[in-house]
Amino acid sequence: MISLVLDNGSGVCKIGFTGDDYPKVYFQSVINNPNTYENLISSKHQNLIYPINHGIITNWDDITLIWEKAFNKLNINPSHHPILLTESPLNPQQNTEKMIETIYETFNIPSSQIFASSVLSFYSSGRASGLSFDSGDGVTCAVPIIQGYALSHAIKRINFAGRDITDILYKLLINKGYYLDNIKIVRKIKEKICYISLDYNKEINKNIENILEKYELPDGRSLSIGDERFKATEWVFQPRNFGFDIDGVDEMVYKSIMKCNDDVRRVLFGNVVITGGSTMISGFGERFSKEICNKATGNMRVKVISLPERSFSTWIGGSILSSLSSFQNNWVTKDEYYENGISAVYRKYNLLKS
C-alpha cells in the first residue's frame, strides 16, 4: 500500500503520496457556508469558516469535510492507504486524540501516525541538527533539533502568524477608508505588495511617494497603499510596539537556543532553517538574519537557510520521513488503535505536547 502525507495547515491543506517531491493536491483549509452568510455579512471573513485556528482543530465536522475533499481531489479511497498526519508542536493532547479517532472511525484507514510539523519542515532541508523556524497561517514555532530529535524543553511557540498579518492589514486599510468585505482580497494584497523592512525607523521616514503602490481590485477599482505595506508585517519583529504581549520572532529564536546546553548552541545558530508560507513575505529572510546576528552571543556564526520550496516544507519532510525503511515500524495499525487506543500512537512516537 502506498502511504499518504496529509499536512493539516491552518491556512492550506496539502496531500500527496509518500516519496513524491511535492504534494499532488493543495487548497485553502476553509469551508464556505452559505447558511451563515446573513450572520457573518458584517464580518471581514464573511461566510468563510476555518476548521483549524492557530494550529488547533476547532470544528471536527468541518475538518472532516476538508479531509474528504482532499481524498476526493487525489482520487483515492483512504481505507487503502496508511496516512501520516501533521500537527503543530505543543498542541493540546486532546487535539491529537480526537484527530486519530476521527481519521480511523470516519475514513477507516489501515494505519496512521502523527508527526510535529516544524520537525518535518526541518527534515526537508536535509540537515540533522539545527533550529527549525516555522511560521505558517496560524502558528509560529522555534524548535531546536539535534541529530534528528527535537529538544522539547526548548521549543517556543506563539499563536500569531500569517492570518494575523492579514487581519492587521485589514484594519490598517479600514483606517485609510478602504472597506473590503472579502478577506481573500486582503490576503492577496498582503502576498503581492506587502514587505518587511530591513530598518523600520528608516522606512517609516521615507517619502510616501517612494513606497506607494497601486493594487487593482477584481472590480477594476484601484487602491493606493503606502506604509501599510510594511506596518502590517512589522509586528513580527516588534509586537509590543503594536499592542501584542508576545516576543518578536528573533527574540523567540534566541530564547529557544539559549534554553539549550552550551555545547549545541553553535550548531543551532549556524543552521537556522526558516520555513512556512509566512516567511515568503518579501524581505523576511534579510531582516530575520540581521536580527538574529544582532542577538548572537560572543563569536557565534549565524547562518539562516531559506528553502525555496518552504511553503511545502512540512509536507516534503513528511514525504521523506514516511518513505524511510526505518520509519515503517512506526505505523499504528487500525487493529492496534482499537485494541490499545491513543496509547499505541504515543508508544510509537513521542509527540511534542503541551
In terms of domains, do 101 and 54 share one?
yes
Q: In this structure, is residue 329 part of a structural domain?
A: yes
In terms of domains, do 115 and 8 share one?
yes
Is the model's pLDDT at 326 over the cut of 70?
A: yes
Is the model's pLDDT at 35 over the cut of 60?
A: no
Whole-number Å distance between alpha carbons of 124 and 323: 13
Identity at 46, one-letter amino acid code? Q
In terms of domains, do 228 and 98 share one?
no
In this predicted structure, what is the pLDDT of residue 36? 38
pTM: 0.92
CB 239 within 8 A of CB 233: no
Whole-number Å distance between alpha carbons of 264 and 287: 24
Number of folded domains that form the chain: 3
Q: Residue 94, Cα to own-chain centre: how many angstroms?
A: 20
In terms of domains, do 30 and 143 share one?
no
Is the model's pLDDT at 37 over the cut of 50?
A: no
Q: Which residues, 6+ apart, have CB-to-CB distance to 239 below 8 Å? A: 160, 245, 246, 247, 248
Three-state DSSP state, 47: coil
Residue 212 sits in which domain range? Answer: 162-234
Is the model's pLDDT at 211 over the cut of 50?
A: yes
Is the model's pLDDT at 1 over the cut of 60?
A: yes
Is the model's pLDDT at 352 over the cut of 70?
A: no
- Beta-bridge mates of residue 195: 282
Residue pLDDT, tens place only, 219-274: 888 999 999 999 999 999 999 988 889 999 999 999 999 999 999 999 999 999 99
Average pLDDT for 303-318: 95
Is the model's pLDDT at 181 over the cut of 90?
A: no
Helices (H), the chain: 37-40, 60-74, 93-107, 117-123, 162-175, 183-193, 200-204, 228-234, 249-258, 262-269, 284-295, 313-323, 334-340, 343-348
In this predicted structure, what is the pLDDT of residue 47? 61
In this predicted structure, what is the pLDDT of residue 344? 81
- Return the C-alpha cell found at 113: 501516525
DSSP-derived letter for residue 353 is B
In terms of domains, do 82 and 209 share one?
no
In this structure, the number of other CB atoms found within 10 A of the CB of residue 292 comes to: 24
Where does the pLDDT of residue 346 fall: very low under 50, low under 70, confident under 90, or very high at 90 and above? confident
Q: What's the CATH number where 80 sits?
A: 3.30.420.40
SS (H, E, C) 232-282: HHHCCCCHHHHCCCCCCHHHHHHHHHHCCCHHHHHHHHCCEEEECHHHHCE
Whole-number Å distance between alpha carbons of 278 and 191: 9
Is the model's pLDDT at 281 over the cut of 90?
A: yes
CB 58 within 8 A of CB 92: no
CB 114 within 8 A of CB 332: no
CA distances from 324 to 44, 78, 96, 159, 235 (A): 44, 21, 23, 32, 39
In terms of domains, do 47 and 115 share one?
yes
In terms of domains, do 106 and 14 share one?
yes
CB 265 within 8 A of CB 300: yes
In terms of domains, do 62 and 211 share one?
no
The mean pLDDT of the chain is 91
In terms of domains, do 278 and 318 share one?
no
DSSP assignments along 324-340, one per residue: SGGGGGG-EEHHHHHHH
* Length of the chain in terms of residues written: 354
In terms of domains, do 31 and 107 share one?
yes
Nearest to 124 by CA among 321, 339, 336, 344: 321
Is the model's pLDDT at 40 over the cut of 80?
A: no
- Return the C-alpha cell found at 193: 505588495
Out of 234, 269, 293, pick the residue that ends a domain: 234
Backbone angles phi, psi at 176, to 5 degrees: -85, -5
- Return the C-alpha cell found at 8: 493539516
Whole-number Å distance between alpha carbons of 269 and 333: 39
In this predicted structure, what is the pLDDT of residue 41? 32
Q: What's the CATH number where 210 sits?
A: 3.90.640.10
In terms of domains, do 156 and 166 share one?
no
DSSP assignments along 122-147, one per residue: HHTTT-SSEEEEEE-SS-EEEEEEET
Whole-number Å distance between alpha carbons of 285 and 278: 11
In terms of domains, do 43 and 112 share one?
yes
Whole-number Å distance between alpha carbons of 121 and 118: 5
CB 110 within 8 A of CB 333: yes
Q: Which residues, 6+ apart, have CB-to-CB distance to 61 below 8 Å? A: none
